[in-house]
Amino acid sequence: MRYFIYILCSLTGLSFSVNAQLAAFSPLAQPAPPPSFRCVAYYGTSPSYKGRQILLAGTSAALISGSLVYLNQAWYKQYSSSKFHFFNDNDEWLQMDKCGHMYTTYQTGRLMIEATAWSGANKTNRLLLGGLSGFAYMTAIEVMDGYSSGWGFSWGDMSANALGSGIAIGQELLWRKQRILLKFSYRPSDYAQYRPDELGKSFSERLLKDYNGQTYWLSINPSSFMKEDTHFPHWLNIALGYGADGMIGARYNNIVVMDSQGNTKSFTRYRQVYLSLDVDLTRIRTRSKFLKTVFTCLNTVKIPFPNIELGNGKLKGNWY
């Protein structure tokens, strides 16, 4: 369940955004001036802002502390404690785990920037408190790794964490919006059946642990680089993906795999790159606050489209 840490962090960020948006339905909540959800140029002091700040701070503290306690009991407790030490895992899983770190800190930062803007934060606080929240959370987990005999503090993980937060913060500084999104997709692979202890036994475990089925995407919005009156659909994105295949071990496929007939099976480990289309759901116009909340949450996942894949020296098309 190692990858549960990454997904948990993303869901934490999603919870912040959902709570922030749903609170707007309360008759006590006043709409934040100006009308834009993002562009709040000062730190609000009105009663409505104070209420939002208390809600956001309380929700954040509860989710973060609760998740860290859970991780300590559910994950780290099975390993003995040790002196703080380092661990180099940069060559594992063809760097798919590093993509997971980058994706998590990016999405958590993106969602928290929006949540802190909703609470009345000025630009500096949005970037520091919101944009760096994912990095701070993952740093705490990395320190816990450093004291676990089963793991260790990884500078590779920290670099990926910093890159994810940097992508979110950098776009806010440059454009005050996210023109390039980091997204995730998953489809079941055939490898988990051969090593369920490592790649997962159930669908939920495989979603988190089977890197062969995961793809990470850079979803680029072309219209945001064009003039405002462009006829190019504002919601349509071009997506570049990265994945890997043939992995039944972190570094090597160093176990013998037999099929049901007793034949030995071997797998070639290789990287994959993809070209596809995507939808930026937050750019679909709607007056419904509920739909805006749903679109914000779902915008962490790539919308399925046919794609072109280059992997293992072959070029092919996929219908997913």
Question: Residues 262-306: pLDDT tens digits?
Answer: 888 899 999 999 999 999 999 999 999 899 989 998 999 999 999
Torsion of CA 16, 19, 23, 24, to 10 degrees: 70
Which residues are 9's β-sheet partners? none
Band the pLDDT of 45: cuts 50, 70, 90: low
DSSP E strand stretches across the chain: 180-186, 214-220, 236-245, 257-258, 264-265, 270-279, 307-311, 314-318
Band the pLDDT of 31: cuts 50, 70, 90: very low
Q: Is the pTM of this model over 0.95?
A: no
Round to whole Å and give the CA distance between 131 and 167.
Answer: 9
